[in-house]
Amino acid sequence: MYRDPVESLEPLHHRQAAIRTLRVGMIGIGTVGSGTFRVLARNRADIAARAGRSIELVMVAARDLERAAAIVGESVALTADAMQVATHPDVDVVVEVAGGTGPARDWVLAAIAHGKHVVTANKALLAVHGAEIFAAAREKGVIVAYEGAVAVSIPIIKALREGLAANRIEWVAGIINGTTNFILSKMRDEGLDFAAALAQAQALGYAEADPSFDIEGIDAAHKLTLLAANAFGMPLRFADAQVEGITALQGVDVACAEQLGHRIKLLGVARRQAAGVELRVQPVLVPAAHMMAQVNGSMNAVMVKSDAAGLTMYYGAGAGSEQTASAVIADLVDVARLDGVNAAQHVPHLGVHAHATNALAVVPRAAVHTSHYLRVPVHAVNQIQAIAASLAERKVPVRQVALAAERPGMGPQVLVLTGPVEQGTFDLAVHALQARAEVAGAVTTLRVESLEG
C-alpha cells in the first residue's frame, strides 16, 4: 500500500525530468519534514527560478507510513527503511530531519558514501559527529549543508561563511534556544518562578515533555559549537564547551537584574582571546537598553563583532515548522546550484578549507574574563559597604552596589555589579566572601555581558 520497498522511481519521474530536477529523499516527516514538503510544494516556481532547476521530493522514510501518506499524497514514494532513502540511486540529495545522533550518523555517512549531498537540521549530530561527517563528505566531494541546525529562520551560517568572509571575527554571541528565551521572558514579564514558566512553555508546545536539552543549555551548546567553528575556522569542540542552563535560576534574580537595569538571557558566547577561544553557554545579565535584551518570547538573535563590518545582528524565529523549512530549502537551493560543480569550488563546510583549519584551544573556565553580578544575603542593611570592601580586597573591581528591593519572606540582599575580572580571581573572592560573618546565606553569582562593539 505504501510502496515499500521501492525498487525504482522511474514510474514517478521520467529520465528527461531527472536531468533537470534535483531529486530529494527525506528521512523523517515530522514537524520540520512536513513543513519542508509544504513550502517546496507551495513555492515550487519561485524556488526553481532561484535554483535554476526544479527541486522535487521523491522519497520519504517514516515510522508512521499512514501519517506520511496523508501528508505527501501519492506522488512521493514511501518506505519505513531510512537506509533505503540514504542509498537509493534515484535520490540526489538526502534531507535528514529525523534527529538523534545514533542512526542519523549511519544514514548520513551512508548517503555520503553513495555520493549524495546531505542537508540536515540536526545540530546534535553535527556537534558530536561533525568532524567525521565533514571529512567523509570532503573525501567524496559532496556537500553537507545545515543552516536549519543553528538558528532556524536566521541565515547565520551563510552570513559567517559568505557575507562576512572578508572579516576577522572577534566574537559571536546569541540567544539560540527559543524554549529558554520564552521561559525567561515569562519569568520577567509575569513574575513566574522557573517551574511555573516551564510548565507554561510545555502547555503551549514551546518545550518538550522532557526539556532537558533546552533548559540545561545543551541544545544551545550544540549550536554554539557550529557557530564558533564557522566564525574562527576552528574544529568542532562541543566536548570542551562550558555549559550552564537555567534550572537553578531564581525569580528573585530576574527581578534584581531589572532593578540594576539589566535582563537575564541564556547566551551562547564564542569570543577570541590571545590564548584561544571562549566557548560557553550560561544565563547572563545584559543591559536592558541593549538590542539583545529586547529579544523576547521564542525568538532568536545572534550578534557578530568583526573587524571590517563591525557589529552586525541577525534576528528571527527560533522555532517552527516552516521557519526551519525555510533554512532547509535554502540549503537545497545551494545544492541545486552547485551539484556537479568541482568540489574545490564549494563553500567549505565549516567556513575555511580543511588545510587552513586553526586548531585554537578552548579557554578554560578559570581564564574567562567577564564582569559579574552577585546577590549577597546579609543580616543587616548597614553591612552593604563591608560586602563591597571584601570584594575590592580580593582584586575584584566593584562598579555598582545597592540593596535589593524588599521582598516578602526575604531578608536584606546586597546586589553588586563588578568590572571585568578573571574567573579564577572572582571565584576566590566569592569563596572568601561566603565565609564572612555578615553573609547570611548562599551567594548567587551570574556573569554580565555588555556586548559592546
CA distance 325 to 347: 21
**Residue 223 appears among annotated catalytic residues:** yes
CA distance 434 to 441: 8
Provide the β-strand partners of residue 402: 415
| DSSP class of 140 | H
Instruction: List the pLDDT tens digit at each of the 453 positions of the chain.
Output: 445 555 555 544 444 444 479 999 999 999 999 999 999 999 999 999 999 999 999 999 999 999 999 999 988 999 999 999 999 999 999 999 999 999 999 999 999 999 999 999 999 999 999 999 999 999 999 999 999 999 988 999 999 999 999 999 999 999 999 999 999 999 999 999 999 999 999 998 888 889 999 999 999 999 999 999 999 999 999 999 999 999 999 999 999 999 999 999 999 999 999 989 999 999 999 999 999 999 999 999 999 999 999 999 999 998 889 999 999 999 999 999 998 888 888 888 888 888 888 889 999 999 999 999 999 999 999 999 999 999 999 999 999 999 999 999 899 999 999 999 999 999 999 999 999 999 999 999 999 999 986
3-state secondary structure of 103: helix
Q: How far is CA 9 from CA 36, 59, 69, 89, 117, in A?
A: 21, 9, 16, 9, 18
Provide the β-strand partners of residue 298: none
Which residue in the list 116, 223, 265, 305 is annotated as catalytic?
223
Residue pointed to by grid coordinates 514510474: 11
* CB contact at 8 A, 312 and 291: no
CA distance 176 to 181: 8
Element (H, E) at 243: strand 242-243
* Cα atoms found within 13 Å of the Cα of residue 327, Cβ hemisphere only: 29
Query: What is the β-pairing status of strands 93-96 and 21-27?
Result: parallel
Write the pLDDT tens digit of every residue in 52-62.
Answer: 999 999 999 99
Which positions ≥6 away from 292 have C-beta within 8 Å?
A: 173, 175, 265, 267, 286, 301, 303, 313, 451
Write the pLDDT tens digit of every residue in 377-415.
Answer: 999 999 999 999 999 999 999 999 999 999 998 999 999
